[in-house]
Amino acid sequence: MKPTNSLINRRRFLHHSAAAVGAAVAAPMFVPSSVLGMGGSTAPSERIRMGFIGLGGQGTGHLLGGGWTYVEGGYIARNDVQVQAVCDVRPERRESAHRRCNGYYAGKLGQAGYDGVRAYADFREVLARPDIDAVLLALPYHWAAPMATMAARAGKDVYCEKPIAITLDQGRNLVEICNRFGCIYQAGTQQRSEYGGKFRQACELVRNGRIGQLKEVYAYRQPGAFFPSQWTSEKSVPVPAGFDWDLWLGPLPWRPYGGEAGHTISGIFIGDLNWSPHHYDIIQWTVNPDLTAPIEVEYEKARTAASGTAVHPGGAAGRPEDGNVHYRYANGVVVHSTRYPGEQVGDVGGACFVGTEGRIAVDRVGLVSYPERILKEPLRPADARVEHNHGHSDNFLDCVRSRRATICKPETAVYTMNAILIGGIAMALQRTVKWDPVNGEFPGDAEANRLVAYAPRAPWRF
């Protein structure tokens, strides 16, 4: 439980104050029905007060409605949420969100000039507000874990978009801090909750032996890793007016501004930290490994053409990403990380589960099996089930109220991210590595252990 949670404290205050307020009312009083929670609305005391930090495509989609976010009209359209703050280091983003949010509430409440949503350039001002219960973070890769950790320490519940963490040490720290401060945390790996339940169905069929004993999995996304030794830049252009480049960099080593920076800057990541968390999350869910058992990751160099040039379907020659990695779990399952021919950024990825009696493949577009009868036979009442909810954001908000763990709680999210990062480290080093999840290290491997963490730039010490 989280005894200091402001939402719970607010309810307790209102409950104990009800009698005193009733006695003090001596004359008729007329208030809008929405204030009382009538007419299908939610009373203010029951609304979750939220701040939104990071207002690019994903963050604005969550806030106001858009692709990939699965909330019609965005969080602002929900009667059980009150948006209190918007924040971005880019002035045009925060000013647009500020204007649109206040305009929405002005129309909904019939209050011209409504200004209950505040705009901020520095996220620390949002975290310092005692009246905010939860934050939604849609950030550059390197800020995800540090800011989520700071939010948890500030007493906020957190919905955080990928990649969750860019180093193994950040993930360990995130789990520890969320548990210590009672933070409800939801990772934005929404395939467990969305897409008509296709991923959940695949997971349950495999876990219940419909393809026999699971032997192999093909993951159609590569893992990735943060590789700071490649942090170089010779390009420098003026920083756009009002854009806080120093705060955007945050804990990363200083470098001059070299142009538009989206989620990250090229040259410091190997592989894929953006899409891969979605698919490895489903793979880990389905494989259901022993969370304490070591994982070995083998790096396989790309095959060589007659010319002597390393080649890979869909990839350029000569890079670590041109090879594949193979995860060997203690339960005997091997996960092959590969790419299908012609794969491009933005393709849906997915996974294929191969057993002794058949196989199942799933992605966001479809679910297929061989033989076909596997999908035609429904699960039996006695078959094992995995968690089912009615939407990823609904699950987060329900857990903020109930204080139950979310479907993508910190331990789940970080275990998935660890698989991606150790695979990325194997690609970066172009050799086999073995990860001990209990001790959080590569035993006897000093070279790999140097990539477990990086030294953050002052004052960002976590």
Residues 30-61 pLDDT 10s: 334 444 444 456 677 789 999 999 999 999 99
The residue ranges of every structural domain in the chain are 32-192, 195-233+243-388+409-449
CA 29 to chain centre: 46
Cα(370)–Cα(409) distance, rounded to whole angstroms? 33
Q: Which run of H or E residues covers position 225?
A: strand 224-226
The residues, any chain, with a CB within 8 Å of residue 73's CB and separated by 6 or more, are 64, 65
- Residue by residue, DSSP assigns 10-70 as HHHHHHHHHHHHHHH--S-----HHHHT-TT---GGGSEEEEEE--SHHHHHHHH--TTT-
Q: Residues 183, 160: contact at Cβ < 8 Å?
A: no
Would the CATH topology of 32-192 be identical to that of 195-233+243-388+409-449?
no
Spatial distance between the Cα atoms of 291 and 289, rounded to a whole number of angstroms: 6
pLDDT exceeds 70 at position 80: yes
pLDDT exceeds 70 at position 306: no
Task: Specify the pLDDT at position 459.
Answer: 93
Q: Tell me what the mean pLDDT of segment 351-375 comes to.
A: 96
> Strands 324-328 and 334-337: what pairing?
antiparallel
Q: How far apart are CA 398 and CA 387, in angstroms?
A: 14
Identify whether the C-beta of residue 400 lies closer than 8 Å to the C-beta of residue 7.
Answer: yes
> How many Å apart are CA 353 and CA 439, to the nearest integer?
30
318-361, pLDDT tens digit by residue? 577 778 899 999 999 999 997 655 555 446 779 999 999 999 99
In the CATH scheme, what is the code of domain 32-192?
3.40.50.720
Q: Which of the listed CATH numbers 3.30.360.10, 1.10.150.20, 3.10.310.70, 3.90.740.10 matches domain 195-233+243-388+409-449? A: 3.30.360.10
Q: What is the pLDDT of residue 347?
A: 62
pLDDT band at 310 (very low <50, low <70, confident <90, very high): very low
pLDDT at 462 (0 to 100): 73
Backbone angles phi, psi at 372, to 5 degrees: -65, -25
Residues 430, 325: Cα–Cα separation, whole Å? 9
149-180 residue pLDDT tens: 999 999 999 999 999 999 999 999 999 999 99
Mean pLDDT of the chain: 86
Range scoring the smallest mean pLDDT among 6-20, 222-236, 270-284, 410-424: 6-20
What pLDDT is stored for residue 54 in this prediction? Answer: 97
Give the mean pLDDT of 183-198: 95
* Predicted confidence (pLDDT) at residue 266 exceeds the cutoff of 50: yes
